[in-house]
């Protein structure tokens, strides 16, 4: 199942991504708030997360280093703003002063909703400045994705 982006959310402007998981809500909550678990899925296949430290409380820090399959490392530092277990997690990414241009900063809200035996996962990303979205296009996510896809293509050849 693929995530869906709600384009109409540009009204606000926000980006909304949703996904349905075949797992109870409490388990999904653990998977997204326990750094031991987050490090195992964040970034997707081929990505590793050498650093994932979460101080799960309002104002607490989330220090994260993600490594792309080609070895490129991305430092992502965030501050938790709101933690309502097991349904709502809000964090704000903070600017990386060592990088120029720095990756964009955003306030991200994940909401978990019980849907019978499934759990609806919803992410609302609100970028502080839409100016910063431009940087994402230039050197942020685009780069991460292509790094991942290159590795995947190589892997497919070997199969």
Partner 1 sequence: MPLAKGREPGYIQLAGCQLISYMSSDPLSSTLFALADPTRRGILARLATGDATVKELAEPYEMSLAAVSKHLKVLETAGLISCGRDAQWRPRHLEAGPMRDVFEWLESYRQFWDRSLDSLAEHLKVMQKQKRKAKHRAN
Task: Give the DSSP per-residue string, 83-147.
Answer: EETTTEEEEEEE--TTSSSPPP-EEEEEEEEEETTEEEEEEEEEES-HHHHHHHHHHSHHHHHHH
Binders of partner 1 among residues 120 to 159 (CB under 8 A) are: 121, 123, 125, 129-134, 136-137, 141-142, 144-145, 148
Residue 123 Cβ vs partner 1, minimum distance, rounded to whole Å = 7
Query: Between the CA atoms of 136, 124, 58 and 83, what dihedral angle is there, to the nearest 10 degrees?
Result: -140
Q: Which of 14, 5, 25 is nearest to 128 (CA)?
A: 14
Residue 98 Cβ vs partner 1, minimum distance, rounded to whole Å = 22
Residue 59 Cβ vs partner 1, minimum distance, rounded to whole Å = 25
Q: Cα–Cα distances in Å, from 17 out to 36, 49, 120, 151, 159?
A: 24, 22, 11, 25, 32
Q: Is residue 45 a contact partner of residue 66, using CB atoms and an 8 Å limit?
A: no
Instruction: Name the one range near partner 1 by CB under 8 A: 37-45, 56-64, 75-83, 88-96.
Output: 37-45
Residue 15 lies near partner 1 (rule: CB under 8 A)? yes
Write each residue from 80 to 119 as x if it is in contact with partner 1 (CB under 8 A), else as -, in one continuous string: ----------------------------------------
Residue numbers at the binding site for partner 1 (CB under 8 A) = 1-5, 7, 10-13, 15, 17, 19, 21-23, 27-28, 30-32, 37, 40-45, 47, 121, 123, 125, 129-134, 136-137, 141-142, 144-145, 148
């Amino acid at each position: 199942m693929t995530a869906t982006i709600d384009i109409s959310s540009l009204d606000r402007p926000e980006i909304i991504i949703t996904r349905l998981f075949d797992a109870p809500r409490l388990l999904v909550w653990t998977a997204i708030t326990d750094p031991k678990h987050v490090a195992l899925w964040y970034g997707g296949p081929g990505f590793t997360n050498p650093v994932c430290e979460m101080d799960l409380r309002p104002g607490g820090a989330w220090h994260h280093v993600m490594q792309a399959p080609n070895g490129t490392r991305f430092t992502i530092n965030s501050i938790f703003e709101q933690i309502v277990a097991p349904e709502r997690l809000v964090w704000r990414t903070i600017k990386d002063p060592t990088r120029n241009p720095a990756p964009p900063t955003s306030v991200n809200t994940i909401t978990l909703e019980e849907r019978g035996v499934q759990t609806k996962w919803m992410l609302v990303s609100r970028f502080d400045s839409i100016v910063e979205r431009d940087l994402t296009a230039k050197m942020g996510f685009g780069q991460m994705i292509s790094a991942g896809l290159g590795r995947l293509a190589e892997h497919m050849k070997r199969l």
